[in-house]
Amino acid sequence: MSTTWLDEVTWNSDGLVPVVAQEAESGDVLMVAWMNREALAMTLAEGYAVYWSRSRNRFWRKGEESGHRQKVSEIRLDCDGDTVLLKVEQAGGIACHTGRHHCFFRKLDDGVWEAVDPVLKKPEEIYRS
């Protein structure tokens, strides 16, 4: 059996690897999610981020409901092989389900988490469930 690029990833005991999505142009860290082997292979094949939803126990194509897809320009693996970095172009400028540019909108200030980034679009306008 030959070794493939997927074999060089250190998968956790659940067969998953954490993935950091970084906006290629700005360098902003947009979000962190999980992928299994198939999701990573699908991401490469499709050119758009495909994650593994642990809560839904299924593949999750970023933007499948919101339209805020992530076009992948580069895939990197860290030095330990246990974290993937996706450099992406974020459609619509919104990566977070709260309607913000990224998921890291809360800042610790004097022992209190405060939202410091604005909602760009209300979630009820993004998701029609």
Average pLDDT over every residue of 95-121: 95
Strands 84-90 vs 16-23: parallel, antiparallel or unpaired: parallel
The pTM score is: 0.91
pLDDT at 127: 82
Element holding 53 (H helix, E strand): strand 50-53
Distance CA(41)–CA(10), nearest Å, equals 15
Give the DSSP letter of residue 62.
T
Domain spanning 5-93, CATH architecture: Roll (3.10)
Domain parsing of the chain, residue ranges: 5-93
The radius of gyration computed from the CA coordinates of the chain, to the nearest angstrom, equals 15
For the segment 44-87, what is each residue's pLDDT rounded down to a tens digit? Answer: 999 999 999 999 999 999 998 899 999 999 999 999 999 999 99
The dihedrals phi and psi of 101, each to the nearest 5 degrees, come to -60, -40
Average pLDDT over every residue of 4-16: 96
- The torsion angle over the Cα atoms of residues 57, 63, 67 and 73, rounded to 10 degrees, is -150
